[in-house]
Homo-oligomer: A and B are copies of this chain.
Amino acid sequence: MTQSISTHPKPDIAVDLTILTVRDGALCCVLMRRDDAVKVGGQWALPGGFVRLGDSLEDTVSRVMEAKIGIAPVRFEQLASYGALNRDPRGQVISIVYLALCPSGPLLKELARKPELTLATLHVDWPGEQGGKAHAYDGGNALGLAFDHADILGDVVKRLRGKLDYSPIGYGFLPPEFTLRDVQEVHEAILGHPLTKPAFRRKLLDRGMIEATGKKETGGAFRPAELYQVKE
């Protein structure tokens, strides 16, 4: 039987999702419009939900993903927990934030059907891994973020930048087969600055995480690039 140990009043515990993709060379995140903007400090927020007794954290991630976005769970990883007392004006909520990495194709298709969701472009003021808040834009318009979600999205960008070099995290934004240019676009979107092609190619191949498929991309007007895939 699933039960809790303590019977004292306790804070609520929630999972918030940063569903990320790279669209047109820009890092983007799914945000949800809220009706209670005045109460929670902004009109847009990360999709999330309470952790119920009997559900693990990963169960909750899957449930929120299916219920609010309507797509099957993708690769996700835990970012951090946020527990400041005043972060939610309605009461004490501890949020455990997850990153979910998606190729933009299937995600855009699903978002077109959900008017309450938008895919916001993320921008940060700071270089490298210094850290700070992030800002969300839709077209040219800044979106007001609820709770501490601007801080959370800043931490997301910081984490992505930090792990990009030595982990396969960048491939989460790509379909199973991709060109090296695709990977470079993802890295440039996350890092926020351009990279030189030959150095990037070599670094990527030296890491040994990807391998050539032998196939080539189709549909381009010029020389087609080779398709690669993540090993194993």
Residue numbers of A with Cβ under 8 A of B are 2-6, 8-13, 50-58, 78, 80-81, 83-85, 88, 90-94, 96
CB distance from A143 to the nearest CB of B (A): 24
Greatest chain B CB density within 10 A among A2, A54, A56, A96 is at: A56
Q: In the complex, A55 Cα to B5 Cα: how many Å? A: 18
Greatest chain B CB density within 10 A among A54, A78, A83 is at: A83
Known: A56-B83, A57-B81, A57-B83. A12 touches B12 (CB 8 A): no
Taken together, the copies of this chain in the complex come to: 2
Residues in B with CB closer than 8 Å to A93 are 4-5
CB distance from A89 to the nearest CB of B (A): 10
Q: In the complex, A57 Cα to B80 Cα: how many Å? A: 12
CB distance from A67 to the nearest CB of B (A): 16
Are A4 and B92 interface neighbours, CB within 8 A? yes
Are A56 and B84 interface neighbours, CB within 8 A? yes
Q: In the complex, A56 Cα to B12 Cα: how many Å? A: 12
Q: In the complex, A55 Cα to B53 Cα: how many Å? A: 21
The chain B residue with its CB closest to the CB of A78 is B80
Are B9 and A10 interface neighbours, CB within 8 A? no
What are 23 pairs between A and B in contact, CB < 8 Å?
Answer: A2-B92, A4-B11, A4-B91, A4-B92, A4-B93, A5-B88, A5-B91, A5-B93, A8-B50, A8-B53, A10-B13, A10-B52, A11-B51, A13-B13, A13-B94, A51-B83, A51-B94, A54-B85, A54-B92, A56-B83, A56-B84, A57-B81, A78-B80
Known: A78-B81, A80-B78, A81-B78. A53 touches B3 (CB 8 A): no
Q: In the complex, A128 Cα to B6 Cα: how many Å? A: 39
Known: A81-B57, A84-B56. A12 touches B2 (CB 8 A): no
Are A90 and B5 interface neighbours, CB within 8 A? yes
